[in-house]
Structure 1
Amino acid sequence: MGGLVFLSSALFMGWSLGANDAANIFGTAVGTKMVRFRTAAIISSLFVIIGAVVGGSGASHGLGALGTVGQLPGAFILSFCAAITVLLMTKSGLPVSTSQAIVGAIVGWNIYTGSHTELSVLSKIVGTWIFGPILAGIFAALLFLLVRRIVNNSTIHLLLLDRYTRGGLLIAGAFGAYALGANNIANVMGVFIQAIDLPTRQIAFVSLSGEQQLYLLGGLAIAVGVVTYSKRVMMTVGNNIFKLSPISAFVVVLATAMVLFVFSSTALSDLFISIGLPPIPLIPVSQSQACVGAVLGIGFVKGGWRIINYRLLGKIAIGWVATPLMSAASSYLLLFFMQNVFMQPVL
């Protein structure tokens, strides 16, 4: 029972991720009215759970290299502070990053406990905050040029094109939800992996390890967040940065999913090693940042920088900077209270 109480902050974190990051998978599709919110929520919920259980271990262990939390009270505080930070940003309608929030909380824990922060790991993670949106923008720009050329050179009837576009949005959204679950479940359950040990269980015809049970629980929490609180952020990304056509929306969803998949695929990283290339860092990246980068990539191709809402973009950038700082500060403060007021171990 005590373990479930401490895991409540992870469930809160999963709900926050579903309300914020998972919303952006279908944000452009819902914003352009090509997909209904209810349909988007159902597909996102199903595939984010599958992705978390099947492919969540790579990024989770990558995050663990930044700081290993061995006690449930400490893991509870880190997850709680990250979730509160994301919630406050979400209430402002800003698509911030749960990856930034949990990384900030871990750094706060390292500072409080005197643990060493592995700078090489931190630099890789921070590097993805910069490179992720750029890569998404490149993917989106190239995909948009390719799709536009195919459409312009085809004789597809507009009604049929509309049907294909809706189908493409649903398929790309399912892929995006899977990639989000595989990559960002680390933000929900990564700090609990070393703090709690669950025996392997047989559920229906599937055998789930202790880690996979945590990922399943986190995936369910993300799904609840999608269903209950994601619509506002969907509309922010889908409508306000710059207006998207339905085809552009498909490209944004696909480009964002590709970025998350790249940084969560163990098979792809192993392939790079086998051909003599450096391994891809398997770490949680920001789905929100990738989505914004993809939107900007299409905006640049369609009309340059003139048609972009710079005021909103500036507010989003401020949120990206404030998120890890706020999470680290609150983590440090609440760890002090947990250890010295509630007399719970945090190391």
Structure 2
Amino acid sequence: MDVTVLLFLTSGLFLGWSLGANDAANIFGTAVGTGMVRFTQAAIVCSIFVILGAVISGAGAAQTLERLGEINALAGSFAAALAAAITVYWMTVAGLPVSTSQAIVGAIIGWNWFTESVTDAAALTKILSTWVLCPLLAGLVAALLFKLVAFVLGRVRLHLLRLDAYTRLALIVAGAFGAYSLGANNIANVMGVFVPVSPFTEFRVQDLFTVTSVEQLFLLGGIAIAVGVFTYSKRVMLTVGAELVPLSPVAAWVVVVAQSIVLFLFASEGLEHLLATSGLPTIPLVPVSSSQAVVGAVLGIGLLRGGRNIHWRVLGHIGIGWVATPIIAALICFVSLFFLQNVFNQKVHTETGYSLSRTVIDHLAAQGIATTPLDDVVGEEFASAVRLRDALRARRAFTEGEQAAVLETARVFRISFAPLRLTAFRANGLSDGQAAAVAALEGRSFRHKWQVAEALAGLSPEWRIVEETKVTKLDNKRIRQRLDLVYRSFHVE
């Protein structure tokens, strides 16, 4: 077992601990803050289910942060995870509910800054917009749900003792499900970057079942999250559950349910498919912050009551934490990368070149992009995305969208379909026709991703991306996901 891998793994464990210490407030904060559930009870339930979620459903919801920046070296992953973990830890010490996703976004931007990689403006804008939309939508859902629950309870008229018992049970059940989802959806953020270098080997238990190396890795990350929940989450729980807005037990349950609804809206591929096939606008599948959803839900109920009980100073401190988190994470990541590369001589990123060869220029022209302003740089190679972007901006002839298209087309990403790689390739999710097309590329090599996509489309119609409409959007998305699998499997440095 490589000691270096274990050392790099510690930042993922620290991030898992920080996530558990902070994000448990999103699950049981309102229940603990209202006194309906004891902290010890909440921590035990949360710890058990977060580990189950991590091991059983470890892949979780797909985190669509790759477009923001692709960290392509183990030391770089270590620095990003460490920066996010330190930032979340500091905010936890301050008692502020912040999002691990916010910290990771900041860390990725810090990595882009250090390595001269371009941050995708469209992806960043979409993520930032959800940071505003998520709490607003959660507040609206919580207000409507609170009114509905109040109406039903007014008609049913349960005895106070029975209502109290039902509410406690509902809070525990909702919290258990939320903890399971936390483990399932966030373990990939915590340990996902370490999967390719997992130091564990799979083993069988009494010939009953096999525990894979990835499951062991996720179990370790889940335990780290659980330790964070049990050892350091109480303060943030009380901030969300009691200090921001005093809540009744029923209102606390509404907050948990409202948070779950909002996260479902932004994460459900089934809902996206239903809306698309119905000809309706789809909701973007962008990972949103559970912290922001909870705070928005609590605030929504507070405003429904007239806003008199809202502690605006606490809300202001939370808002400052949300703004500061990605900035702090980016700075810490940048400094960490500098020391790893220049003091410890670690490889924090793999060099990515960009080529404006005649082949690339012709492909851009075929996409309808006017390439005349590039005539003087045909054949040139650029060491980084930033340098090519600066060259494009200097010509003032390309829109932001066209610049992104040039960067994507010119990026050098060598792919080789060597026989040994084809033998080891696992065509998970590919149809027979798609797998046959991949096999037909044996012995061929490519310099750009788009060349592979064109070659596969020429071999099988199942690889063709058609004109995008609301109906074909999901099919095209699945093809792109499968292309990413091919790119990663046959990429050579």
User: Does TM-score exceed 0.5, indicating one fold?
Assistant: yes
Return the match for 1:11 from 10, 13, 17.
13
Name the CA distance, whole Å, in 2 between partners of 1:272 and 1:344: 47
Bigger proportion of residues as helix: 1
Q: 2:295 aligns with which of 292, 305, 312?
A: 292
> 2:88 pairs with 55, 74, 86, which one?
86
Q: Which of 236, 240, 244 is the aligned partner of 1:237?
A: 240
Q: Does 1:36 align with 2:38?
A: yes
Q: Over residues 123-156 of structure 1, what are the superposed CA-to-partner deviations in whole Å (9 max), with x where a residue is unaligned?
A: 2222221111112112211211111111111131
Counterpart of 1:250 in structure 2 is 253
User: 1:61/1:311 Cα in 2 relative to 1: closer, same or farther (>3 Å)?
Assistant: closer
Superposed counterparts of 1:66-77, under 5 Å: 66-77=68-79
Structure 1 unaligned regions, length at least 5:
none
Task: Kindly indicate whether the alpha-carbon contact (under 8 Å) linking 2:5 and 2:199 is maintained by their aligned counterparts in 1.
Answer: no
* 1:186 CA displacement: 3.9
Q: What is aligned with 2:357?
A: none
Q: Report the CA distance between 1:108 and its aligned residue.
A: 0.5
Checking the alignment, whether the CA contact within 8 Å between 1:241 and 1:308 is kept in structure 2 is yes
Aligned position for 1:173: 175
CA contact (8 A) 1:64 1:190 kept: no
**CA–CA separation in structure 1 for the residues paired with 2:37 and 2:48:** 16
C-alpha deviation, 1:283, in angstroms: 4.0
Q: CA deviation at 1:198?
A: 7.1
SS in 1 for 2:110: helix
Counterpart Cα distance in 1 of 2:326 and 2:218: 23
Q: CA RMSD in A?
A: 2.3
Deviations 1:236-267 (A, max 9, x none): 11111110001011111111222233334444
Q: Aligned partners of 1:266 and 1:47: how far apart in 2?
A: 24
Letter matched to residue 181 of structure 1: G
CA-CA distance at 1:275 after TM superposition: 3.8
Q: Trace 1:1-347 onto structure 2 (pairs within 5 A).
A: 1-57=3-59, 59-193=61-195, 196=197, 201=202, 204=205, 212-277=215-280, 280-301=283-304, 303-347=305-349
Determine if contact 2:32/2:237 at 8 Å carries over to the other structure: yes
Does the residue aligned with 1:57 lie in a helix, a strand or coil? coil
Aligned residues: 345
Identical counterparts, % of pairs: 59
- The 1-side partners of 2:209 and 2:63 are apart by 23
Whole-Å separation in 1 of the counterparts to 2:123 and 2:218: 23
Q: Which moved further from structure 2: 168-177 or 183-192?
A: 183-192
What one-letter code is carried by the residue in structure 2 that aligns with 1:188?
Answer: V
Distance change >3 Å, CA 343–CA 107, structure 1 → 2 = same
In 2, are the aligned partners of 1:176 and 1:258 still within 8 Å (CA)? no
Paired residue type of 1:28: T
Q: After alignment, is 17-26 or 158-167 more displaced? A: 17-26
- Judge conservation of contact 2:198–2:217 (CA < 8 Å) in 1: no
Give the conservation status (yes or no) of the 8 Å contact 1:60–1:185: no
Distance, in Å, in 2 between the alignment partners of 1:200 and 1:268 is 38
C-alpha deviation, 1:334, in angstroms: 1.0
SS of match in other structure, 2:71: coil
C-alpha distance 280-51 of structure 1, shift in aligned 2 (>3 A): farther
- 69-78 or 198-207: which moved more? 198-207
Q: CA deviation at 1:330?
A: 1.0
Change (3 A) 1:175 1:275: farther
- Equivalent pair of 2:69/2:112 in contact (CA under 8 Å): yes
Unpaired stretches in structure 2, ≥5 consecutive residues: 350-493
Q: CA deviation at 1:288?
A: 1.2
Distance 1:124 1:208 in 2: 38
Greater relative contact order (Cα < 8 A, sep 6+)? 1
3-state SS of paired residue (1:96):
coil
In structure 2, distance between residues paired with 1:12 and 1:56: 18
Assess if the C-alpha contact under 8 Å between 2:244 and 2:310 holds in 1.
yes
TM-score, normalising length: structure 2: 0.65
The worse-fitting range, judged by mean Cα deviation, of 75-84 and 211-220 is: 211-220
Contact 1:15/1:222 (CA < 8 Å) preserved in 2? yes
What is the Cα deviation at residue 306 of structure 1? 2.7
CA distance in structure 2 between the partners assigned to 1:270 and 1:198 by the alignment: 38
Q: Name the CA shift for 1:269/1:213 in 2 (closer, same or farther; >3 Å).
A: farther
Distance, in Å, in 2 between the alignment partners of 1:134 and 1:183 is 22
In structure 1, distance between residues paired with 2:125 and 2:66: 14
SS at match of 1:263: helix
SS of the equivalent of 2:140 reads helix
Q: Taking structure 1 as the reference length, what is the TM-score of the superposition? A: 0.91
Distance 1:270 1:9, change over 3 A: farther
Distance 1:181 1:285 in 2: 15
Structure of higher CA gyration radius: 2
